[in-house]
């Protein structure tokens, strides 16, 4: 029996889910450490309260939290549900990508894409920033992968949005570069217009480079559909969150939370004790932040981009019917 036999699809799907959960465990490290400028390599996984290194059986994706009852084995401090949620979400995204693209060259590319979207979502929610390693690094990876041309197969979305037949290496690259340019230009234009009209920054620089990255993976049609869908999501959910937060502020008497402080030069977060002291200094895990002080647009962009990836044809067709055809008559 060939490894690609359709009868083995459930086995491959299970492998995709398990591998996704393992990557999700690593993404938790990236999400927590990268915005704080800590190494994602050293020290190894450990309790952020007591600094005790985690044993291998305390770091099994999805299972360890259940076995430990979501508490550190040594100090008993509570482990956030977010860790398990990120692992499960990553596993489901990996499974969905495999389900959508199967054994094609586009599958590894879009596994990278959904991973970047997930990391960007949670770093923006937690710290209101999108690391350049995600946006610019993802953009570079998307353009480099597009240059492999026919190896990506028919699943490569940017190549399908060009007048070329996709048989030459630069056909896909042209589609990815066009998508990146349009994604960057549109959101940059919104930022400039907002600055002129409101005399303040209307769009973060991370969101602009993130849109360029989306264009390299989704093409020009996909990145425009992403922006429209993100605006709709932002208006719906962001407006609701803002309303609830205003009510909460009124009860508390004002917003809470300050920007994180810089680390003193004598703190070395590469070692467990220094890591623990650095966390205590920044005090990020105990801060409350009001949604009204900032509603990040990045998560809406990321959710919209993943939706466009999996539902490209119906979403693009719907927006074309609603917005393009009425304009063109």
Residues 246-271 as b/e (b if ≥16 CB within 10 A, e otherwise) read eeebeeeeeeeeeeeeebeeebebee
Does the predicted model carry a pTM greater than 0.85?
A: no
- 3-state secondary structure labels for all residues of 104-162: CCHHHHHHHHHHHHHHHHHHHHHHCCCCHHHHHHHHHHHHHHHCCHHHHCCCCCHHHHC
Considering the domain boundaries, does residue 115 fall inside one? yes
Number of neighbouring beta carbons within 10 Å of residue 132: 13
Structure tokens at 314: 């119906």
CB 291 within 8 A of CB 241: yes
Are 129 and 240 members of one domain? yes
Are 156 and 277 members of one domain? no
Considering the domain boundaries, does residue 262 fall inside one? no
What digits encode the pLDDT tens for the residues 87-121? 999 999 999 999 999 989 999 999 999 999 999 99
Considering the domain boundaries, does residue 9 fall inside one? yes
Are 209 and 116 members of one domain? yes
At residue 316, the pLDDT reads: 92
Report helix angle 312-319 to 205-233, nearest 10.
80
Instruction: Give percent of the chain above pLDDT 70.
Output: 83
Are 192 and 294 members of one domain? yes
At residue 208, the pLDDT reads: 94
Considering the domain boundaries, does residue 56 fall inside one? yes
| Bigger pLDDT: 281 vs 115 | 115
**What domain range includes position 246?**
105-255+290-329
Are 228 and 80 members of one domain? no
CB 85 within 8 A of CB 65: no
Are 188 and 308 members of one domain? yes
Domain count, the chain: 2
At residue 285, the pLDDT reads: 44
| Bigger pLDDT: 261 vs 159 | 159
Considering the domain boundaries, does residue 264 fall inside one? no
What is d(CA 119, CA 327) in angstroms, rounded to the nearest whole number? 37
| Bigger pLDDT: 114 vs 200 | 114
Are 250 and 278 members of one domain? no
What digits encode the pLDDT tens for the residues 50-89? 767 777 777 788 888 877 777 777 787 787 889 999 999 9
Are 167 and 117 members of one domain? yes
């Amino acid at each position: 029996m060939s490894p690609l036999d359709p009868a083995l699809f459930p086995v491959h799907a299970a492998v995709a889910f398990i591998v996704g959960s393992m990557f999700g465990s690593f993404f938790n490290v990236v999400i927590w450490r990268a915005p704080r400028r800590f190494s994602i390599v050293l020290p190894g996984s450990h309790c952020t309260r007591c600094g005790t290194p985690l044993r291998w059986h305390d770091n099994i994706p999805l299972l360890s939290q259940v076995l430990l009852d979501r508490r550190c084995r040594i100090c008993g401090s509570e482990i956030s549900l977010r860790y398990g949620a990120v692992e499960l979400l990553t596993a489901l995204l990996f499974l969905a990508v495999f389900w959508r693209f199967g054994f094609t060259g586009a599958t590894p590319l879009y596994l990278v894409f959904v991973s970047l979207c997930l990391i960007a979502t949670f770093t923006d929610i937690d710290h209101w920033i999108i690391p350049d390693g995600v946006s610019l690094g993802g953009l570079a990876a998307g353009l480099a992968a597009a240059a492999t041309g026919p190896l990506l197969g028919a699943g490569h979305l940017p190549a399908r949005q060009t007048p070329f037949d996709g048989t030459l290496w630069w056909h896909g690259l042209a589609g990815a570069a066009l998508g990146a340019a349009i994604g960057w230009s549109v959101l940059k234009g919104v930022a400039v217009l907002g600055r002129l009209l409101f005399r303040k920054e209307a769009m973060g620089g991370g969101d602009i480079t993130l849109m360029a990255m989306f264009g390299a993976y989704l093409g020009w049609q996909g990145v425009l559909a992403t922006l429209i869908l993100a605006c709709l999501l932002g208006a719906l959910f962001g407006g609701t969150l803002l309303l609830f937060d205003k009510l909460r502020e009124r009860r508390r008497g004002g917003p809470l939370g300050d920007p994180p402080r810089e680390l003193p030069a004598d703190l070395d977060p590469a070692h467990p004790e220094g890591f623990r002291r650095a966390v205590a200094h920044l005090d990020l895990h105990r801060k409350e932040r009001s949604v009204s002080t900032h509603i990040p647009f990045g998560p809406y962009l990321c959710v919209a981009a993943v939706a466009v990836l999996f539902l490209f044809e119906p979403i693009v067709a719907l927006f074309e019917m609603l917005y393009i055809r009425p304009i063109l008559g």
